[in-house]
Amino acid sequence: MVDEPCRAFGRLPDESRTLNALEASDEILIGRIAGGDRLAMQALYARHHVKVFRFVLRLVRNEASAQDLISEVFLDVWRQANRFEGRSAVSTWILAIARFKALSSVRRRKEAELDEEQAEAIEDDADTPEIALQKKDTGEVLRRCLAKLSPDHREIIDLVYYHEKSVEEVAEIVAIPENTVKTRMFYARKKLAELLKEAGVERGWL
Amino acid sequence: MTPNERQELETLLPWHAAGTLGPVDAARVEAALASDQELARHFAIVREEMAETIHLNEALGSPSPRARDRLLAAIDAGPARSPRTPFGAGIARLFAGLTPQAVAWSAAIAALVIVLQAGVIATMLTGERAGQRRATFETASVPEVTPLPRVSAPAPAPASRGSVTAAVPTSASGAASHVLVRFAPDASIADITRFLETNKASVVDGPKPGGLYRLRVNAGGKDELASVVATMQASKIVGFVAPE
């Protein structure tokens, strides 16, 4: 490992700079980005772009839009890095930016157009929950039911389970009180249980 | 345990599964899970949901390199920013401008001021309590709680916070190997990132003596590893590569 990831940036040979950027913490990278360091920006992008892309894609449900938005999100990170106060994790801050961008994008699109695109983007050749159940693939049934949840429910489940965000962090990203985070997660899971029941999977929890 | 307490703990199960509860709440949930079979069964359901949510998200793929290129082009097109001066650097500069004698005198005066200030505060506190009955005084303390280990999901875990890696999916054989690599001196971060993504590798250690980096690669057997090494050798940004 690099012994001193915090060594003064700019005084090192190019190779060391590259590798220091790879090893530095998110907070250190944001500090460097605030100072105009493009290399740090690339390191931060490399570290987070996949998860942010997936988060955005689950919200906008359109791959082309998600591809565009990912650049916009990180461009905002570049521009606003000097405003980052360190009160939350960098990944939480980035996800909050991503969410704002994604929802703005969704609002801009017409409802009908969205429905049509959703059908094209999301529907695939995978089995319906019922057919998957006949094949005894309950994991597939669960995933299909997860995909059927409303955007609000899908979002909170993704943030808690996939992005590993705490109650406080979800509250910050979604801009809702912490108690609402807990109740929304509860109702999202309840809805999921209902969908599973409709598909024939009885889990004994509702 | 009251029904309300139980319901509250039930609400916290998803965060317990993800390992994002604070130590106090995590300890409460753990204790309840140990004594409540129904809650433990519910927790198993939560973990199943978590595993499938991760599976679903991992299947979404990655953004194309065009997104990164667009970002870099937009950054390059924007105005250049002057490096921000960190707070610590300002202080360092201030002291650098003083002679050693001036620094020594300043430190002595600062110490004297602190001692005087402490004396004044102590006098004030003693005076305030003079006519009062003797009161007990305790330091505030927080009960020590040993943080619980994170509960790992049965599905592939997402990349940990702070790790620098391209996604490394598990191979069909489920095994991973390591190689030692030295990058060319002119390799940029973009080149290295692309290289890691292309070869489904991640940096796990380095630099070692000779500028070597240890990479984790998705190769189960010797033949698979040899193939990965051969692919890496063909890269222009690699000066040296060998299986570990």
How much is the ipTM here? 0.79
Task: Summarize pLDDT for A97-150 with one digit per residue, the tens.
Answer: 999 999 998 888 755 465 555 555 544 445 566 665 555 578 888 999 999 999
Q: Best of A3, A71, A78 to disrupt the B interface by mutation (most B CBs within 10 Å)?
A: A71
Three-state secondary structure call for residue A87: coil
Chain A positions touching B15 (Cβ under 8 A) are: 160, 166-167
Task: Summarize pLDDT for A7-58 with one digit per residue, the tens.
Answer: 333 334 455 555 565 667 899 999 999 999 988 999 999 999 999 999 999 9
Return the percentage of chain B with pLDDT > 90, whole number: 27
The amino acid sitting at A115 is D
CA distance B72 to B78: 10
Tokens 């500090």 map to which residue? A31
Q: Best of A14, A37, A47, A50 to disrupt the B interface by mutation (most B CBs within 10 Å)?
A: A50
Specify which of B11-15, B70-74, B124-128, B219-223 reaches the highest per-range mean pLDDT. B11-15
Three-state secondary structure call for residue A88: coil
Report the range of poorest mean pLDDT among A42-56, A141-155, B75-89, B229-243.
B75-89
Please state the pTM of the whole predicted model: 0.58
Q: Which alpha helices (H) appear in chain A, and where do they start and end?
A: 14-23, 26-34, 38-60, 63-80, 90-108, 111-122, 129-134, 138-148, 151-157, 167-174, 178-198
Chain B positions touching A18 (Cβ under 8 A) are: 183, 187-189, 192
Contact B49 A192 (CB under 8 A): yes
